[in-house]
Amino acid sequence: MKKITLLSLTIRNFKGIKDFLFNTNGGNADAYGDNGTGKTTVPDSFLWLLFGKDTNNRSDFSIKTLDSEGRPINGLEHEVEGVFDIDKRTVTLKRIYKEVWTKPRNQPVAVFGGHTTDYFIDGVPTKKRDYDEFISNMIEEDVFKLITNPAYFNEQLKKDERRKVLMGVCGDVTDEEVISSNDKLVELPDILSGRSIEDHKKVIASKLSAIKKELDAIPTRISEVDRGMPDIGGLDKDGLQAKISVVNTRIDAKQDQISSIRNGNAITEKQKQIQEVEIELMRIKSAHESGSQDEVYKLKARLQEEQSNVTIFNRDLQSIEQQKKHNNERIKSIESKLAELRGIWKEVNAVEFTHNDECECPTCGQALPNDQVQAARDKALEEFNLKRSNRLEGLDAEGNQESERKKKLEQENVGLDKETEKVNERIADKQKLIKKLQEQLSKLENMVVDITENAEYVAKLTEKQQLSTELEGIRSSADQEIQSIQLKIVELRAERDQLQEDLSKFAFVKQAQDRIDELKGQERKLAKEYEELQRQLFLTEEFTRTKVEFLEDKINSKFKYARFRLFEEQVNGGLREDCTTTFDGVPYDSGLNNAAKINVGLDIINTLSEHYGFYAPIFVDNAEAVTQLIDTEAQLIRLIVSEQDKQLRVETKTSDESVVA
């Protein structure tokens, strides 16, 4: 167990104290003083000596002594020196904060150049790095603050930070320990499937939300389906089917009646005679064209084929031209982009470095050392050059990419020009061939006799026309009767359509009812899943409650007075992580008096000191609020408000001697 004791603390020009020796003689001490006499300055100077911060964990607080008008007094050295007993070894630490004044060449007056801090260990000047390393080897800063300030744990740490400290002191409880302690949790490992409790809670919450949305939507869906069902009251399904069958039979009968009229003997005979004449016309025409006409047909077919080829080639030319036009438009767009990139490149390259040299400290307003100003300028210049270089490289890369695209498009256009030449050559060849075929066709057609000049063909054609006229006369007399029958068929079909529409309502109702049954089945299934998830959620919360009892019992057993509420129960029955310190059931930050707060803080310090194996001086502010402090192994320094003490006064427990600031 390591123990550090403050033997004395010398304070010079620190905040409101000009020169004061805080001597404890190695024992507990009480510091008396009215408000504003510097009681809080003592622990501030103590922490500044060790860590460069005040009791509020600030490193930028003002330590300079001020004049009557509140302005810093220049030229003073601000010094704190502490003598400590560390495991029976006396160690002296000193930190001095002072101004730097330099006298420029050929100038009579010194110029303020900022501040510097000197460090000493046992009187030996030390670098900051070695000084900080010496302190950290003794104890970590966060731990030191925890065990020297009764209010630090409860008033400066956040809840999650306090939980972390307590878990570090007392250790966590494993899931296996929690589950094995509660029979209700026996199936929880299988439910978790390797997930943590918190992750599984998230899974459950997500599933419950999704299922609830579906369950809420199902009644609406059922209502929509139900409203959409047609009314089949007063309809007879079997009767409708029988009526449709009767109507179909009557329609078929009417259709047969029309066919019988159209297929009468007179019409059939005339149609047969016309067919025989048409066969004879085809024979005469075939015999007439079997000679040179066949050659004409072949030549026309060849001519049509070559003309089609020319059309295809022309379409190829149009496609090539369209592609080339598209490429040129893209090239033009790339050239515009390249011009824009070159302009941007020039603008970026032309930007010159500028820097607003901040020569004064933002905290105290004093001038900064020249080396700091130059370092800041060099860093800014380096960042500027790097940023500009990266920007130019990016523009170069983008320009190269666009140039490569332009080059590929130009190469593609060269290939398209060559393809155009080839297609034009093919078109020229085909056009020559077409001209030659047209000349051959013209000569051959002049040699062929037209079929209308064939006497036998003309006679048969006249006979066909006469027979057709006779057939139309026969049909005309039957049309009126057929039209009447067709009107009756239209009426029957309308009647059948209405019957089929009524019949289809039964199928629609069945489909809708099946959908309702399906939705209700889905609702039962989802309700069962929802119930199971709620059961799993209960198990996870039961796990958390069991774990809470374990943790709180384990942690609270380490403390005499302080108790900790690690979880807070919500309105919905769930638990939220918490870390509230209580004493006799009263929360630290809600109703606990100052005396109880201080003793609870000391109780926490005792446990933490035992855990970390380190005791250090404890500064108790507002100690006048406590009539009896609890026992502690650490050195105790009480800061007591005393209206009659207009100057800081120290009393040690080993002596009645008082020291006045």
pLDDT at 374: 84
Distance, in Å, from the CA atom of 232 to the CA atom of 505, rounded to the nearest integer, reads 7
pLDDT at 658: 43
Higher pLDDT, 581 or 294: 581
Indicate if the pLDDT at residue 106 is higher than 50.
yes
Q: What token pair was written down for 282?
A: 């085809």
Indicate the burial class of 59 (C-beta count within 10 angstroms; 0-12, 13-18, 19 or more).
exposed
pLDDT at 296: 77
Q: What is the pTM of this model?
A: 0.52
Would you say 514 and 532 are in contact if contact means Cβ atoms under 8 Å apart?
no
Would you say 80 and 18 are in contact if contact means Cβ atoms under 8 Å apart?
no
Contacts of 277 (CB under 8 A, 6+ apart): 460, 463, 464, 467
Distance, in Å, from the CA atom of 289 to the CA atom of 278, rounded to the nearest integer, reads 16
DSSP string across 493-561: HHHHHHHHHHHHHHHHHHHHHHHHHHHHHHHHHHHHHHHHHHHHHHHHHHHHHHHHHHHHHHHHTT-SS
pLDDT at 150: 94
Measured between its terminal Cα atoms, the distance across the chain in Å is 34
Mean per-residue pLDDT over the chain, rounded: 87
Indicate if the pLDDT at residue 611 is higher than 70.
yes
CB atoms within 10 A of CB 153: 23
Residue keyed to tokens 């306090």:
162
pLDDT at 359: 62
Indicate if the pLDDT at residue 113 is higher than 70.
yes
Percent of the chain with pLDDT over 70: 95
Distance, in Å, from the CA atom of 348 to the CA atom of 332, rounded to the nearest integer, reads 24
Half-sphere exposure for 477 (CA within 13 Å, toward CB): 7
Q: What token pair was written down for 121?
A: 């260990």
Residue keyed to tokens 């302690």:
181
Longest Cα–Cα distance of the chain, Å, equals 160
pLDDT at 229: 86
What pairing do the DSSP bridges indicate for beta strands 2-14 and 614-615? Answer: parallel
Q: What token pair was written down for 446?
A: 């002049």
DSSP 8-state assignment for residue 71: P
Indicate the burial class of 256 (C-beta count within 10 angstroms; 0-12, 13-18, 19 or more).
exposed
What confidence category does residue 522 fall into, taking pLDDT thresholds of 50, 70 and 90?
A: very high
In the predicted model, what is the mean pLDDT of residues 189-199? 85
Indicate if the pLDDT at residue 649 is higher than 70.
yes
Higher pLDDT, 208 or 443: 208
Distance, in Å, from the CA atom of 588 to the CA atom of 564, rounded to the nearest integer, reads 10
Distance, in Å, from the CA atom of 592 to the CA atom of 586, rounded to the nearest integer, reads 6
What confidence category does residue 259 fall into, taking pLDDT thresholds of 50, 70 and 90?
A: confident
Label each residue of 301-337 as H, E or C. Answer: HHHHHHHHHHHHHHHHHHHHHHHHHHHHHHHHHHHHH
Q: Which residues pair with 583 in a beta bridge?
A: 586
Q: What token pair was written down for 449?
A: 């006799």
What confidence category does residue 134 fall into, taking pLDDT thresholds of 50, 70 and 90?
A: very high
pLDDT at 655: 39
Closest alpha carbon to 99 in 358, 372, 369, 375? 369
Residue keyed to tokens 């809470």:
548
In the predicted model, what is the mean pLDDT of residues 176-182? 85
DSSP string across 208-254: HHHHHHHHHHHHHHHHHHHHHSPP-TT--HHHHHHHHHHHHHHHHHH
Residue keyed to tokens 């496609």:
319
In the predicted model, what is the mean pLDDT of residues 129-144? 93
Distance, in Å, from the CA atom of 329 to the CA atom of 326, rounded to the nearest integer, reads 5
CB atoms within 10 A of CB 252: 12
Contacts of 202 (CB under 8 A, 6+ apart): none
Would you say 420 and 317 are in contact if contact means Cβ atoms under 8 Å apart?
yes
Rg (CA), the chain: 53
Residue keyed to tokens 């050295």:
77
CB atoms within 10 A of CB 598: 21
Distance, in Å, from the CA atom of 144 to the CA atom of 605, rounded to the nearest integer, reads 10
Indicate if the pLDDT at residue 450 is higher than 80.
no
Distance, in Å, from the CA atom of 251 to the CA atom of 257, rounded to the nearest integer, reads 10
Indicate if the pLDDT at residue 614 is higher than 90.
yes
Closest alpha carbon to 357 in 349, 347, 346, 369? 369
3-state SS assignment for residue 432: helix
Indicate if the pLDDT at residue 480 is higher than 90.
no
Would you say 409 and 331 are in contact if contact means Cβ atoms under 8 Å apart?
yes
Amino acid identity at 224: E
CA 103 to chain centre: 58
Indicate the burial class of 455 (C-beta count within 10 angstroms; 0-12, 13-18, 19 or more).
exposed
In the predicted model, what is the mean pLDDT of residues 561-566? 92
Indicate if the pLDDT at residue 303 is higher than 90.
no
Distance, in Å, from the CA atom of 113 to the CA atom of 549, rounded to the nearest integer, reads 61
Which of 226-230, 521-525, 544-548 has maximum average pLDDT? 521-525
pLDDT at 444: 73
Sign of CA dihedral 471, 477, 483, 486: negative
Which phi and psi angles does 410 have, rounded to 5°? -65, -40
pLDDT at 331: 92
Percent of the chain with pLDDT over 90: 42
pLDDT at 659: 43
Distance, in Å, from the CA atom of 610 to the CA atom of 129, rounded to the nearest integer, reads 29
Distance, in Å, from the CA atom of 322 to the CA atom of 320, rounded to the nearest integer, reads 5
Distance, in Å, from the CA atom of 51 to the CA atom of 64, rounded to the nearest integer, reads 17
Residue keyed to tokens 């919360």:
541
pLDDT at 635: 94
In the predicted model, what is the mean pLDDT of residues 263-280? 79
Closest alpha carbon to 559 in 614, 603, 526? 603
Indicate if the pLDDT at residue 660 is higher than 50.
no
Distance, in Å, from the CA atom of 333 to the CA atom of 317, rounded to the nearest integer, reads 24
Indicate if the pLDDT at residue 355 is higher than 70.
yes
Q: CA angle 12-15-18, nearest 5°?
A: 35
pLDDT at 454: 76
Query: pLDDT by residue (tens digit) across 1-44?
Result: 899 999 999 999 998 889 999 999 999 999 999 988 888 899 99
Distance, in Å, from the CA atom of 524 to the CA atom of 515, rounded to the nearest integer, reads 14
